[in-house]
Each structure stands twice: as structure tokens, then as C-alpha cells.
């Protein structure tokens, strides 16, 4: 059992190498954390601060661990109760108060997030969010980069910097906890995981969260050291954290520290803790207060005379009161700012319809050449090497990795095997296993660690083996990658690419044929592209790698070996956010993407004796090229939207609504959508798959109905 008593070891600070001045400074930091927390809680009860999360009782756990870190050098990922951690690492009471009042100058989020979701790139404090444990995979991604001296590490050489990742006991029940610790153990990364176990995940006690009493017992299962420490004894906490940090700096791998602590107040200002714990329990823990324990120790060591103690308290109270008054007087976050920082690099139109296209390169239109499923970019040299789509993917990956040593690939089977489709063949041998990483079968950590790598200055490419399995990483993609730039008020960006083979027609059935684009195209902050020719694959991947926003790069599996075309040897780009008119027409426009670009072209050719059909390849699904869609709809007067996804709530619904809003008076007929029937996915049997597949014949039939011929 852990001793949760008082600081009783004689002259402990000397043995730990802590000077008397540092010990008093540690006390000041703990006192500041307590007084600031009490002030915010009081302001909430007065109706001035709309929401509060208290750290009272956690001060020993937080200051004791943070004191062992190098502020601004080590990278820290706090969680929303870590007031003492961020203060120790350099945030000011005024900055914290700006967040509590949701003021425009709040450096962590500009009033976009609830208080306590701290982040500051200058201090290497990574922006935090509300979903618990999602930041743990980010920590291992950053630690991977630190271990190998890649990313923003000076001169790309390995340093002895470490990563510290904080979380509560509730987070240890999540899959990201397991996945992150497993990855850290496999690669023996310089990361310290700090669990502040206060006994409750809101109201659920640890006994109903964990099958083991001590969470740190799990450390050995992940190949790392584990520490269980009394959170009421700040010097014991520091001793354990210092040991773990030293091990990490020396290259001896990760550690899990469980700090037994307690929160004196409710989970948040909206929680009533009286319904799940007794007042006697709370008062019993308060008798072992970490702040009181340290004060007693200082008095015993003759380091805190009464007059000095009074002066410190007065100085702290004044500092907090002045910070609160100054922050309260600042301007509220203005409403018009809500549309800022959705994208690090905006393209297309912004939220209020203004054009914000920035510096995109000129579009190169493509046209179909005969019936042999080959496509060629306009102006492409005739002797340009021809390749199919999977060859183009492989070529593009090698190209971007050779051009930029920040680019790396991680995913299942991407190394020795070269990917299940062969997309990464030869890359391991050429670029090594630091940049081509075979990961466990854990999609959340594949994406989550890539987020960490991107935050550290790399350009990771995360491969999801089949798009059908991407949903395990939904939280990482939607809650984290897509929102980090927005929630941090532009302080952080996530320049990463997620490759995912998608689509049917390959007898993949329920779990190898899904069209996933509608789920993810719905998310502001996440760019979604679906190139369908070798030319576009190479050009768009080059563009995606340099884009500061996260990009979901969808590759239709059936095009991999079916579609061939030239890829110029001269480097070129295909802009994100720009559709392509691949066949000019006047009577009807087919708006489509992916494999159905090619099927729609076939359909248009077969209708050439009856109507002049335009075909537009959307290419980028989020953000859509609104101008191209509207211009084509206005020109042709009839619109057919074709995709492989389920028709109900598919991407076609958004395109149809857009046309109805902006081109209604130019239409000669209602917009028609052609998509998959409302079934979970394509079936396995060939006859059943053919029955539901959106093929050339179905496109022709829908076009004729729309044309009235």
C-alpha cells in the first residue's frame, strides 16, 4: 500500500539535490496553484467565470512531476486538471484567467474551448482537448521523433529531451491508453506517462474502472518501468518523476507513474459530488493535504519563517487578484472570429461564402484517350512513362520521401511486405525503418502517433490498410487532427496525410468495399481528396504533403490496376480544392469522383449521338470547388451526381443542395443523384455485387431519364 501520510523524511530535499531556494520556490508554485484555483472557483460561483475545473488536492502530483522537467525543452501534454503543471512550465496566472473568462486574448484557444484546455507552442505544451486519452498517441509520436532526432529537433540530431504525458485514472480504461503504451514499449521511447489517480472518473470509482488496484502494475505488460507514489508527498513525487525522466533521457525507455492523489472539489463546476462520495471521505483526504505537508516540512527545516510565509501568501494573493481583474477587463472573444483558423491553408470559399483561394497552381485538365482506360494530362509529354494508379502511388511516395526527409510512412505491413497492395514496396530498403514504420494493428495509434509526428515538424503519411477499418481512428481524425489548428487559435497545425484504399467492385464484401467519404467530408478542418488518375495521384500527393492541414487521401482500389496513364518526369502539382472538367458539354453535367470519373466518361461517350454531356471530376471532396460545380450546373441546366456511396446522406446530397441553393434558376430539371442502394456495403457474391453496383449502364439510364430521351 502507498503511504499517504506526511513528509517525514529528514532532510529529504538535500538527498534529492533540491536546494533550499528551490524547495521554497516549489512551495510558492503549489500555493499559487491553490490560490488561483480557489479564485477561479469563486468567480464561477459568482457567475463571472462560466465553467471551472478544479485541481485542488492535485498540487503535489503536478508540481512534483513538472519540477523534474526542463520547461520549454521537454514536450508536455497535460490534461484538463493540470493547472499546477502548466504554471510550473511557464504559463502565467493572467493567461490562465483569460481562458477562465473566455477572453479574445486567451493564448490557448482564443475563447474557442472551455477553460483548462491548455496549449502553447512556445512552451512546448501541446494543445489539449476534452476526449480523454486521445493525446497519449500524440505523445508517443513526438517521443518517436525525439528518439530518432527527426522533426524540429535542432540539426536533426538526437537530443536528450523527453515527453511527459498526463491523464487521469479514467483515461486508463480507454483503448488509446493501451495502444500508446504498447507502441512506446515496442520502440522504447523517451516518454513518461503520468496518471493522476484521484480515485474517480467523474463518479465511477477506480474499483469499477480497473481490474487491478494499482494502475502502474500494467507497466510491465508494456515493457516499461512502473512507479506508484504518494501524491501528498511532493518530494516523493519529484523523486519518482526525476528517476523516470533520467531513464528516458539516457535512452532507457518509457515509464508509467501512478500518483495517488485526490480532488477536493467536484469533477467540474457542473458536477454534484455529494451523490457519489461522502463528506467524511473528502475531509479525511484534506487532512493529508500536499500543500500543508510541504509547509510543515519547510518549517521543520527552518526554511519558512512566519514572516516569510505571510509575505509569500500576501504576494500570491495579490498576483492572483491582479491577474483576475486584468483578465476580466479584457474584451470578449468577438463573434466574427469563429470562422478564423478552420484551415491553416484555406481554399475555395470560407464559411460566409467569400473566395479565399490562396495561390493554387493552374489546373491541368485531363481527357480520356480511347477505350483502353488510359488518361493523359493536357500538355504532358508524349513519351512520359505510363503507369497504373498503384504504380503512381508508389512513385509518388518515393518521390516525396526523396524530396523531403521530414516525410515518413507508418502503418500495418508497410515495411518488409511493402503494403498489401504493394504501394510501399522498396521503400523500407531505400529509406530505412526509422522512416518506414511497421505499426501494430491499431488504427487509432497509427493516426494518433502521426498527429504527434506532425506536431513535431514532420510530414507523416499514415496508411490505413483498408478504408473500412479507419473508423477505429475516428476520434483521432475528427476530434484531434481536424480541430487542433482551430481549437489552438492557429498556434498548432497538423500537416499529415492519411492514405486509405476505398471502394468496391473487387469482391471485398462488407468490410473491404466501403465508401467512407461522406463521414469525413462532413468535418471542417479535414481536407478530403479522391484522385482517380495516375497523373492526379502524383500531383495531389505532392500537394497534400506540403499542405499544413490534415489530408485524407482516398484511393479507389479498383483503379489501382485498371486505370493507366502518363506521369511526367518533370515535377508538377495538382491543387487541392480544384475540380476538373474532364469532358466539356452543354446539355447535362455529371458531377462525380473516383472510379466513377472513368465510368461517367464512358457513359458520356455512349450518349454522344443523343446529347452533349459534360463530366466534372470533383477530385477534392472537402472543401468542394463550389465555383466549378455551380458554373457547370448553370451552363448545362441538368445535373446528375454520381457516386458509389449509399445515396441517402451521401456526398451527392451536399452537391445537390449546393446546386439547388446557387443555381436553381438556371436548372431545367431537378438534380438527380445516383448512388448505392441503402445497404451496409457491397455483397460478396458476384451476381449480388453487380446488381447494386453503379456501372456505366446505370449512369446512361439515369442520364437519359434526366434528359427526357
Helices (H), 46-161: 59-66, 83-88, 93-100, 135-148
The partner residues of 349 in beta bridges, in order of sequence, read 355
Q: Torsion angle, CA of 684/686/687/690, rounded to 10 degrees? A: 90
C-alpha cell recorded at residue 68? 523534474
The partner residues of 77 in beta bridges, in order of sequence, read 165
Contact 196, 167 (CB under 8 A): yes
Distance CA 133, CA 170 (A): 9
647, 633, 624, 627: which is closest to 706 by C-alpha?
633
To the query of whether residue 117 is one of the catalytic residues in this protein, the response is no
6-45 b/e (C-beta count within 10 Å ≥ 16 → b): bbeeeebbeebebeeeebbebbebbbbbbbbbebbbebbe
Q: Is 163 helix (H, G, I), strand (E, B) or coil?
A: strand
Distance CA 702, CA 640 (A): 8
Cα 90 off chain centre by: 25
Instruction: Tally the residues of the chain.
Output: 709
C-alpha cell recorded at residue 351? 464559411
Which of 512, 556, 596, 598 is catalytic? The answer is: 512
Distance CA 376, CA 533 (A): 9
Orientation angle between helical segments 93-100 and 306-328, nearest 10 degrees: 40
Q: Is 412 helix (H, G, I), strand (E, B) or coil?
A: coil
Distance CA 316, CA 35 (A): 7
How distant, in Å, are the alpha carbons of 65, 164, 200, 255 from that of 244?
A: 10, 10, 25, 6
Instruction: Determine phi and psi for 589, rounding to 5 degrees.
Output: -115, 135
Contact 552, 544 (CB under 8 A): no
343-378 b/e (C-beta count within 10 Å ≥ 16 → b): bbbbbbbeeeeeeeeeebeebbebebeeeebbbbbe
Distance CA 489, CA 108 (A): 7
> Cis omega (within 30 of 0) on the bond before 623?
yes
C-alpha cell recorded at residue 37? 484555483
Contact 592, 641 (CB under 8 A): yes
Distance CA 147, CA 709 (A): 66
Cα 239 off chain centre by: 33
Contact 166, 78 (CB under 8 A): yes
C-alpha cell recorded at residue 313? 501568501
End-to-end CA distance of the chain: 83
Element (H, E) at 312: helix 306-328
Known catalytic residues are 512
Amino acid at each position: 500500500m502507498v503511504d499517504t501520510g506526511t513528509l517525514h523524511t529528514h532532510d529529504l530535499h538535500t538527498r534529492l539535490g533540491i536546494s533550499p531556494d528551490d524547495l521554497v520556490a516549489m512551495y510558492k508554485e503549489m500555493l499559487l496553484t491553490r490560490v488561483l484555483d480557489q479564485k477561479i472557483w469563486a468567480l464561477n460561483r459568482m457567475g463571472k467565470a462560466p465553467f471551472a475545473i478544479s485541481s485542488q488536492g492535485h498540487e503535489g502530483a503536478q508540481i512534483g512531476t513538472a519540477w523534474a522537467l526542463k520547461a520549454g525543452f521537454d514536450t508536455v501534454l497535460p490534461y484538463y486538471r493540470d493547472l499546477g503543471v502548466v504554471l510550473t512550465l511557464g504559463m502565467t496566472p493572467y493567461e490562465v484567467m483569460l481562458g477562465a473568462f473566455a477572453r479574445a486574448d486567451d493564448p490557448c484557444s482564443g475563447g474557442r474551448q472551455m477553460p483548462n484546455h491548455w496549449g502553447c507552442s512556445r512552451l512546448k505544451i501541446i494543445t489539449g482537448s476534452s476526449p480523454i486519452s486521445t493525446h497519449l498517441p500524440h505523445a508517443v509520436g513526438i517521443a518517436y521523433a525525439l528518439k530518432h532526432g527527426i522533426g524540429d529537433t535542432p540539426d536533426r540530431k538526437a537530443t536528450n529531451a523527453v515527453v511527459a504525458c498526463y491523464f487521469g485514472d479514467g483515461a486508463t480504461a480507454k483503448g488509446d491508453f493501451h495502444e500508446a503504451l504498447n507502441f512506446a514499449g515496442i520502440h522504447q521511447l523517451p516518454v513518461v506517462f503520468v496518471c493522476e489517480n484521484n480515485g474517480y472518473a467523474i463518479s465511477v470509482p477506480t474499483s469499477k474502472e480497473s481490474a487491478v488496484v494499482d494502475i502502474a502494475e500494467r507497466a510491465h505488460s508494456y515493457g516499461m518501468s512502473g512507479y506508484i507514489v504518494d501524491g501528498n508527498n511532493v518530494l516523493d513525487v519529484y523523486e519518482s518523476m526525476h528517476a523516470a525522466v533520467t531513464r528516458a533521457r539516457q535512452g532507457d525507455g518509457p515509464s508509467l507513474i501512478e500518483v495517488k492523489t485526490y480532488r477536493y472539489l467536484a469533477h467540474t463546476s457542473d458536477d454534484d459530488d455529494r451523490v457519489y462520495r461522502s463528506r467524511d471521505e473528502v475531509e479525511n483526504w484534506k487532512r493529508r493535504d500536499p500543500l500543508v505537508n510541504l509547509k510543515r516540512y519547510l518549517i521543520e527545516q527552518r526554511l519558512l519563517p512566519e514572516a516569510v510565509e505571510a509575505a509569500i501568501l500576501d504576494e500570491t494573493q495579490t498576483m492572483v487578484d491582479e491577474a483576475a481583474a486584468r483578465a476580466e477587463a479584457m474584451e470578449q472573444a468577438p463573434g466574427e472570429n469563429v470562422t478564423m483558423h478552420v484551415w491553416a491553408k484555406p481554399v475555395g470559399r470560407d464559411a460566409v461564402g467569400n473566395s479565399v483561394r490562396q495561390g493554387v497552381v493552374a489546373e491541368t485538365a485531363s481527357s480520356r484517350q480511347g477505350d483502353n482506360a488510359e488518361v493523359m494530362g493536357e500538355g504532358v509529354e508524349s513519351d512520359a512513362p505510363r503507369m497504373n494508379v498503384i504504380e503512381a502511388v508508389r512513385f509518388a511516395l518515393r518521390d516525396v520521401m526523396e524530396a523531403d526527409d521530414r516525410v515518413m510512412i507508418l502503418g500495418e505491413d508497410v515495411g518488409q511486405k511493402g503494403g498489401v497492395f504493394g504501394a510501399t514496396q522498396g521503400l523500407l530498403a531505400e529509406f530505412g525503418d526509422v522512416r518506414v514504420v511497421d505499426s501494430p494493428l491499431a488504427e487509432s495509434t497509427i493516426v494518433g502517433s502521426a498527429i504527434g509526428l506532425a506536431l513535431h515538424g514532420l510530414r507523416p503519411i499514415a496508411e490505413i490498410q483498408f478504408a473500412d477499418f479507419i473508423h477505429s481512428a475516428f476520434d483521432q481524425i475528427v476530434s484531434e487532427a481536424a480541430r487542433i489548428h482551430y481549437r489552438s487559435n492557429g498556434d498548432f497545425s497538423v500537416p499529415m496525410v492519411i492514405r486509405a484504399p476505398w471502394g468496391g467492385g473487387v469482391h471485398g464484401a462488407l468490410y473491404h468495399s466501403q465508401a467512407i467519404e461522406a463521414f469525413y467530408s462532413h468535418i471542417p478542418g479535414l481536407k478530403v481528396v479522391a484522385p482517380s488518375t495516375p497523373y492526379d495521384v502524383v500531383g495531389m500527393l505532392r500537394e497534400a504533403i506540403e499542405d499544413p492541414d490534415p489530408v485524407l487521401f482516398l484511393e479507389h482500389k479498383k483503379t489501382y490496376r485498371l486505370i493507366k496513364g502518363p506521369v511526367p518526369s518533370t515535377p508538377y502539382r495538382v491543387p487541392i480544392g480544384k475540380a476538373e472538367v474532364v469532358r466539356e458539354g452543354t446539355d447535362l453535367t455529371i458531377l462525380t469522383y473516383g472510379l466513377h470519373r472513368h465510368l461517367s466518361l464512358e457513359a458520356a461517350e455512349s450518349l454522344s449521338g443523343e446529347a452533349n454531356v459534360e463530366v466534372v471530376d470533383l477530385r477534392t471532396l472537402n472543401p468542394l470547388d463550389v465555383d466549378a460545380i455551380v458554373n457547370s450546373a448553370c451552363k448545362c441546366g441538368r445535373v446528375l451526381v454520381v457516386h458509389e456511396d449509399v445515396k441517402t446522406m451521401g456526398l451527392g446530397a451536399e452537391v445537390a443542395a449546393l446546386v439547388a441553393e446557387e443555381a436553381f434558376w438556371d436548372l431545367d430539371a431537378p438534380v438527380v443523384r445516383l448512388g448505392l442502394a441503402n445497404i451496409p456495403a457491397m455483397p460478396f457474391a458476384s451476381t449480388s455485387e453487380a446488381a447494386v453496383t453503379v456501372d456505366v449502364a446505370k449512369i446512361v439510364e439515369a442520364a437519359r431519364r434526366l434528359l427526357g430521351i
